[in-house]
């Protein structure tokens, strides 16, 4: 079973290049201003220009308006729109309007949260099962929080999906073994501090998938 990865929240050429060199299938550019991984349109443009055609550029958004999407898609040459906090109907509208592969992030803590994924069955192209961050947390993602992977046992996935939330070099192999994920997503697990990606951590994480 081949497993691929999205390295999320990249904001420097060096770490972006490490993700590409290491074999990431997707790279994530974060357009949510409060995030420590936020990239301006100008920076997104420079980073996107380094990404070869076989690697998908994913834009990360929290309930974005159309203007932000328009500008980010152009700057980041986005192939994929990843939405946090968008309702199924807003997700469907974005997918239709922007004609891009669209991912719905599902914030998971309980089985009920997971069941909520079904509402996106006709609205999105892929689900990103991410851990629900604690109440009052500054961000809805990128906080290194893990959910109970056993919740996925026997779950009938309504769409292709990816596993996210608290993954790192120490647990990604077990996560894949347990959930049978074929696409994993990581952000803080390949950082030395919030928003500071690390070339060696990215390389080691991707190498673990190839082993």
Catalytic positions: 8, 130
Cβ 133 to ligand LARABZUK, closest distance in Å?
8
The dihedral built from the CA positions of residue 123, 57, 28 and 170, taken in this order, carries a sign that is: positive
- Closest residue (Cβ) to ligand LARABZUK? 142
Q: Site mask, ligand LARABZUK, residues 45-84, x = CB under 6 A?
A: ---------------x-x---------------------x
The dihedral built from the CA positions of residue 124, 42, 28 and 33, taken in this order, carries a sign that is: negative
CA angle 137, 60, 44 (to 5 degrees): 120
The SS3 call for residue 63 is: coil
| 143 touches ligand LARABZUK by CB under 6 A | yes
Structure-token match 């199924």, residue found: 88
Q: Is 9 exposed, middle or buried (0-12, 13-18, 19+ CB in 10 A)?
A: buried
The one-character DSSP state at 171 is: T
Say how far apart CA 58 and CA 68 lie, in whole Å: 14
Cβ 9 to ligand LARABZUK, closest distance in Å?
5
| Residue of the chain from 188, 201, 202, 205 that contacts ligand LARABZUK (CB under 6 A) | 188
Q: Site mask, ligand LARABZUK, residues 144-183, x = CB under 6 A?
A: xx------------------xxxx----------------
- Binding residues for ligand LARABZUK (CB under 6 A): 8-9, 28, 30, 32, 35, 37, 60, 62, 84, 130, 139-145, 164-167, 185-189
């Amino acid at each position: 079973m081949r497993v691929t990865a999205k390295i999320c929240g990249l904001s420097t050429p060096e770490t972006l290049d490490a993700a590409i060199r290491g074999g990431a299938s997707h790279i994530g550019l974060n357009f949510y201003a409060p995030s420590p991984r936020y990239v301006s349109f100008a920076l997104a443009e420079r980073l996107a220009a380094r990404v070869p055609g076989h690697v998908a550029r994913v834009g990360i958004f929290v309930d974005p308006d159309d203007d932000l999407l328009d500008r980010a898609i152009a700057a980041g040459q986005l192939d994929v729109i990843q939405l946090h906090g968008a309702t199924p109907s807003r997700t469907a509208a974005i997918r239709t309007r922007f004609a891009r592969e669209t991912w719905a992030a599902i914030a998971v803590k309980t089985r009920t949260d997971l069941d909520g994924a079904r509402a996106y069955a006709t609205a999105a192209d892929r689900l990103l099962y991410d851990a629900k961050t604690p109440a009052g947390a500054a961000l809805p993602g990128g906080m290194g929080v893990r959910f109970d992977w056993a919740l996925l046992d026997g779950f009938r996935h309504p769409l292709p999906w990816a596993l996210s939330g608290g993954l790192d070099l120490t647990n990604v192999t077990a996560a894949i073994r347990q959930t049978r994920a074929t696409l994993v997503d990581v952000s803080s697990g390949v950082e030395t501090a919030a928003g500071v990606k690390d070339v060696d951590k990215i390389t080691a994480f991707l190498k673990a998938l190839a082993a």
